[in-house]
Amino acid sequence: MTVEPSDDPHEVLITKIASDLRERGEFVAEVAATPNQRIVDLHWASLLAGRRLGVRTRVDVQQSGSGQGGSRLRVTVVCVDRLGQVVTHVSEAARAVTARRH
């Protein structure tokens, strides 16, 4: 069975976040502060990426300055354990989630 790459921008974002979490331990994006929907989409996609990987995620948003288009925000997604502490590898986060269930 061949799976075709999705053209759905939400699915592309979820896949990118999951890939970055798996490979680097975090996902970082810089986006315009408005419209707010972009931040909502990133938060939603991070939850689904975490679910796909079997881990919890946390989204941090910080102002990163101003550009020609106005205020910019830096959005960082990381994996966390059940206490909300950042873990550097997806496998650590998955173990923490699994340990909580047993």
pLDDT digits (tens, 9 = 90+) for 22-39: 999 999 999 998 888 999
pLDDT of residue 6: 72
Yes or no: say if 88 and 60 are a contact pair by the CB < 8 Å rule: no
Confidence (pTM): 0.79
Query: Does residue 3 belong to any structural domain of this protein?
Result: no
pLDDT classification of 65: cutoffs 50, 70, 90: confident
**Number of folded domains in the chain?**
1
Residue 67 confidence (pLDDT): 66
Supply the range of the domain harboring residue 50.
9-101
Over pLDDT 90: what percentage of the chain? 59
User: Considering the chain, what percentage of its residues have pLDDT values greater than 70?
Assistant: 81
DSSP 8-state class, residue 3: P
Helix (H, G, I), strand (E, B) or coil at 76: strand
**The domain that contains 78 carries what CATH number?**
3.30.110.20
Residue 85: phi and psi, rounded to 5, are -80, 135
Residue 87 lies in a domain: yes
- 39 part of a folded domain: yes
Q: Find out whether 26 and 77 touch, Cβ atoms under 8 Å.
A: yes
40: helix, strand or coil: helix
Q: Report if residue 20 sits inside a domain.
A: yes
Average pLDDT score over residue span 82-98 = 74
1: in domain: no
